[in-house]
Structures are given as structure tokens and as C-alpha cells.
Structure 1
């Protein structure tokens, strides 16, 4: 039995294809609806699964082609994040057989498919115990890596993407001198559709590694949101997923994790480090004119349409580029509007990992870098001049 699945987000199609193929179905997938219709003509599927909101040819256009142009009664199931009543009503009036609203589990999708067209004769009938959810959104995550050969928590990353659909991880090797690149390629092996390794031959610092990774991921059309996360997982992946849930259910453009100590949260810091952090944070609040509790948490998620504003130009500093991101948003949108776009969300867990690159001496140097930021970003005109000056120095 043959199934054709059409959705403009590949991260939705891949786990669906894997599960249905495991049940014995012959599955073809396509992210371009026009090409999907071409496959439909020659593949002659027993079932078509289609998304509604796709660029160019929509899911409803696909249904119209099958029902009215081809006059074909092949079962059609819609799998979409569109929950508008008039769209659902129109889809059924056009002759679809089922409408599945994202997010929903692969188990439910398979049950609906089985109910509609039955199981193929080649099926082994084995049920999967995993309950992977097909999400409405797709997320890219940039993870900067420098000499992480011994610290990279490979199992945690692999477990996360295997259990959470809609995620694509981009590990940026920042000119590591150990075997980090080798470890990353091993991590990627067999999961190339979900893991990218971006290699920087020379070490440019965390700020540049994150910036290049964010701009690279922004080119992927099927991603809705893109964020970054520290390789040592000082921020838990489940916490990062909570940041994603916040941005997808709100009008915020940036949701930033915050290591604010609160009841029930597992957050640890050394005393001296905490004192310096509080001093630095006071200066940052003055520079930004925002009451941010923690700008430097290494876990942030961005709406795709502000990536170029936040990361388009090289950062002035290597360590506190987060402050520059918020300052760029303020300059571009104005302080009042920028404040409404930013959300600071407390984390449930954050632990300062051993081997962190930032020493106490480095923390003191940050104060000087904050002065540099205050000077460079003092006006829009100054930012333009500073960018030109930075490019000349690099050249």
C-alpha cells in the first residue's frame, strides 16, 4: 500500500515517513506541492496526506486537483496546524476524509491511517511504544563548540532529537584544536537530516560562531524559529523546548532564558561569580534601559524575521554579544516596541558546568567591553560608522 505525504516542512515529513514505512507502507514525501502533484500522477498512491498552508500551491489546491480535475476518490487526509473553522469546513466540502490538527502524536496519525486504508499485507503489526509528537513549528538550534571533545553530551542531544520532532541541530565547530570536529561528524552520522555540522577553520570566538550558525540556519526555508544553546547543556534541553513553546504561542520575537533563582529551580553559581554577575547586570540594565535580570544566559530563541537584524553584522565583543543583540533591536524598532518584543523566561534548571571557558579575570574584562558597547551603539549613525571601521580592521 502506497502513501504520498506533502508538507513544506521536511522535519515534519521525515519522522512520519519513518514510522509509516516501519508499518510496511511504501511512502513518498515531498516538500513542494507542485512536485507532489507530479509524484501523485505516477505513484498512484492509496492515500494522500497533505498540509494546508504551503507556499504557491496550497493543500486545498491539491485536494481540488485530486477531486475535481482528476475526479479521483483516493482517500485524502489533511495534517495541518491550521485550525480555522472555515478552512476545515472547506476541506471537508472538497471531499477530504480526515483532518488532523498539529500537534499530534505519530501513534494517532498511524491509527487514523490504519482506520482509513487498513494495514499493508507486509506489515509485521508491531506497535511502537514511542509517542513522538508532530509539531506545528520547526526549530533550528545553533550550538557553538570549541574544544568540546571531552565535554560534548552526545547522548543527550541524540535522545532529544529522536524524541522531539521538528528540531534541527546545527553544531558550529569554532576552530577547535582537539577532536571536536571528528566527534561532531560521528554525532551527525545517520542523522544528516536533523543535524548539521558547520565548520569554522579558524577560532573566531563564541559570538562569531553563533552569528555564522544563526545566519546559516536562517537560509533553511522550513524553519519557523532559530535559537542558540551552550554545548555543555548548562541549560536543559527540556527548558529550551519551553522557550520555544512560549514564542510560538505569543507575539514575542525573542524569548531569552533567565537564570533567576526561584523556588523549585535547580540553579547553582559560585558566590564570587554571582557578585560579579550582579555588578555586570546593573551596568547592562543602564545601557539597555531595560529591566533585564539576565541577558547572558546561553539559551535564546528568535522568530526568523528578526535574525538579520540581530545577527546581520559582526559583533563588537566576543563574550557579551547578547547585549548587542538587544541593543540592535532597540535601535531598529525603538525602545518601547523592542521591549514588547522581548521576553525573559526563568529556567527550571541551570548549572555552571566545570571547564567553562570564562574565567573570573575574563568577567572583570567584560566591564570594559560594556563601555565599548555603550560607545559604539550610542546612536544609529554611530553603529553605521563602527561597522565600517570594524570591516576595515578585519581587512
Structure 2
């Protein structure tokens, strides 16, 4: 039995293709409806698995198009993140036999296909590890900077995450490590080359530069909707990071940043001395930014892909507090008031200080001097503001939003 998959997101398309092949189906996967129409002129599949939101020709337009072809009777199943009732109704009116809303597990997808086509194998394994994977609504790129992390990288956690969350792409940036970090990263990536990449830097440039290079690298991938970064030690775990993504997806924001606020119901662990220093530094940062931030330095942030080129084009002037520079660049481009509306701080449920952190107490004390450098660069040499249209950010509206972060208690 032959299945034709049409989906412009490679991360989704290749994963679904592999899983259905493992179930015993013959599968052809293409990235756009135009290529699919060309193939349909030569062969007739038993099922078409179709996305709705694709550039050039939508899924609904594709269904209308094939109704005039000899494959008009081929059943069409929809797999899409578009949950508008009008779109779903129209798809069924046009003859779609099923409509699956992302996120959806591969095991459910395969069960629906088997219900329609039957099982091509005498025995399949619908509950395999890959079967529990979810096809995501949006594709997300995550930059993970690494410098001499060979002994701390949690290989199985990274692998299991990409196996279960189709639509995520992890980009590890090896920042000139002198230990076995690169070998460990290559081991993590093996067999998952479409979901994990390695950006190898010949020399150590510091976390700020590693994140900058990784963000610009991922921004070149048009299938990614959102791009963020996360610390290699997973002091912020993937569950909290996915919560940042969900907030970005459903809210009127351009950037969502994790916030390590100590509160009831959250497991936030910091060194006592570091906490005292960060409290004083945070006061300085709030004053400089003119924004009521609770925590700018959390190593977990995610943003719309269209913002990345303008925010990361230039090298940062500081080594450890480039996060502050990011918010200063937003303020410069859009103005303070609009920047405040674009940023959401989301409290984390877990953050654990990991042993072996590269930021020493001595480095923490130097941050005050780095803040002076930021003032000189961004406040004493102001730049012209940029409109939203100049960076082609249209997904989120420019409307005021309610404060979402409770009072800081640490």
C-alpha cells in the first residue's frame, strides 16, 4: 500500500515517513503540493497524508486541484496545526476522510492509517519508543552552547527528547572545547542527523559568541518557526523550555524568557552567595533597561525566528551578560514601551545550579564593569528605532499585556 506525504516541514515529514515505513507501508514524501501533483500524474497512491498551511499552495487548494485529476477518489487525511473550525469544516466538505490536529502521537497517526488501509504487516509495534513521539504544531530550533562539557552532557536525555518531540531541532555549538565534548556530541547525533546538528568552532569565543553563531545558523532554516537557546547542563529542563514555546505560540509576544523566581511549588536552587550577588546585579539591570525584569540571566529563552537576524547580527560587547544586550537591542529597535509588550518572563518550575558552572564568583563580580560597557554602547550611542515590518515580524500583535511574573522573593 502506497502513501504520499505532503508537508513542507522536513522535521515532521521525514519522521512520519520513517515511522510509516517501519509499519510496512510504501511511502513517498514531498515538501510541496506542486511536486505532489507532478507525481500524481504518474502514479496513484492509496492514501494522501496532507498538511494544510504550506507556502505557494495550501492543502485545501491542493484538494480542489486533484478533484479534476484521475486520483480524485484517493482518500486524503489531514495532519495540520491549523485548528480553525472553518478550515476543518471546509476540509471535510471537500472530501477529506480524517483531520488530525497537531500535536499528535505517531502511534495514533498509524492507528488511523491502519483503520483506513488495513495493516500491511502480520504484526506491528505501535507502542515502540518512536510511536510515543509527538508531531509538533510548530518547528523549534534550540541552540545549546558547549565548552568542555564532555563529562556533563546527559546523552540519553537529549536523544529521548528529540525522539519524542518531532519538530524540535537541537543545534549543539562546540565552542572550541579541549576535552572530548565533540566526540560526545557526535555520539548523541548518530542516527538522528535530521534532528540534531553540530556547529563546531575552532576556537573558544565564549558563551555569547557561541549562542550568537548558533542562532544565526538556525535562522537560515525556513522550516523553523521559533528559535531559542538552553544551557548544556539542563539546569532548565526541556519541560520548562517547552512551556516557553507554548507561551510564545499562544501569546502576543516576540520573546519568552525563563525566570528563576523562588516561589511555592517551584524547585529553584541557587548558591547562596551567587543569589545575593544576582539580586544586586538585577537591580542595576532593571535600572539600565528601564524594564521591570525579575531575571534576565536565565539561560533559557525562545523567540520568533524573524527576530534573530537583527538581534544577533552583531557580536556582543560582553561575555557573560549578553542576555541584557539582547533586551537592549530590542529596546533600541522598537522603543522601550513596545519592547516591554514583546517580552514575557515565564517563571520556571525547576532550576538547579549544576556543579562545574563556567561562571565563577570572580566573574560574577566583574559583571558590574560589563554593565558599564553596555551603558556606553547602547545608551550613550543610541541607534534609530526599527519598525516591526522592517524585521517582518507579523505573527504577534503589538498590544499591551498583563504582568505575568509574581513578586520576587529570593
TM-score category (smaller protein): over 0.9
Native 8 Å contact 2:44 2:71 kept in 1 = no
Answer whether contact 1:287 1:374 (CA < 8 A) is retained. yes
Corresponding residue SS for 1:317: coil
Would the alpha carbon gap of residues 212 and 353 (structure 1) be closer, same or farther in structure 2, given more than 3 Å must change?
same
Do residues 262 (structure 1) and 263 (structure 2) align? Answer: yes
What is the alpha-carbon distance in structure 2 between the residues aligned to residue 383 and residue 313 of structure 1?
16
Q: How does 1:165-204 map to 2 (within 5 A)?
A: 165-204=166-205
Give the secondary-structure state (helix, strand or coil) at the position aligned to 1:165. strand
- List per-residue Cα deviations over 1:73-104 (Å, max 9, x = no partner): 01111111112233223222322222222222
Whole-Å Cα distance in 1 between the matches of residues 384 and 323 of structure 2? 16
Matching residue of 1:52:
52
Whether contact under 8 Å (2:171, 2:214) holds in the other structure is yes
1:23 shift after superposition: 1.5
Q: Secondary structure at the match of 1:147?
A: coil
Q: Indicate the SS of the match to 2:229.
A: strand
Q: CA deviation at 1:61?
A: 2.5
Q: What is the distance in 2 between the residues matched to 1:41 and 1:318?
A: 57
- In structure 2, relative to structure 1, the CA distance for the partners of 1:86 and 1:317 (3 Å cut) is same
Label 1:45 to 1:28 Cα distance change in 2 as closer, same or farther (>3 A): same
CA-CA distance at 1:191 after TM superposition: 0.5
Indicate yes or no: 2:93 matched with 1:93: yes
* C-alpha distance in structure 2 between counterparts of 1:21 and 1:76, whole Å: 18
Judge conservation of contact 1:258–1:295 (CA < 8 Å) in 2: yes
Partner of 1:390: none
- Counterpart for residue 128 of structure 1: 127
From the superposition, tell whether residues 322 and 98 of structure 1 become closer, same or farther in structure 2 (CA, over 3 Å). Answer: same
Query: What stretches of structure 2 of length at least 5 have no aligned partner?
Result: 386-410
Q: 2-side partners of 1:382 and 1:332: how far apart?
A: 8
CA distances 1:11-61 after superposition (whole Å, capped 9, x unpaired): 222222222112111111112222222233334211001111100122122
**3-state DSSP of counterpart to 2:379:** coil
Distance of 2:71 and 2:161 partners within structure 1: 43
Give unpaired runs (5+ residues) of structure 1.
385-395
Q: Distance in 2 between matches of 1:227 and 1:187?
A: 20
CA distance in structure 1 between the partners assigned to 2:333 and 2:285 by the alignment:
19
Deviation, structure 1 residue 187: 1.2
Give the structure 1 partner of residue 65 of structure 2.
65
Q: Does 1:244 align with 2:242?
A: no
CA–CA distance in structure 2, aligned partners of residues 126 and 247 of structure 1: 35
Choose 60-69 or 145-154, whichever is displaced more. Answer: 60-69
Report the CA distance between 1:153 and its aligned residue. Answer: 1.1
- Aligned equivalents of 1:383, 1:65: Cα separation in 2: 48
Number of residue pairs the alignment of both structures matches: 383
Q: Normalized per residue, which structure has more helix?
A: 1
Q: Is the 8 A contact 1:24 1:123 kept in 2?
A: no
Structure 2 residue 159 is the aligned partner of structure 1 residue 158: yes
Match of 1:102 in 2: 102
Provide the rounded CA distance (Å) in 2 between the counterparts of 1:364 and 1:64.
Answer: 65
Q: Distance in 2 between matches of 1:382 and 1:67?
A: 55
Classify the secondary structure of the residue corresponding to 2:356: coil
Deviation at 1:381, TM superposition (A): 4.1
* Whole-Å separation in 2 of the counterparts to 1:103 and 1:127: 17
Which residue in 2 is equivalent to 1:290? 291
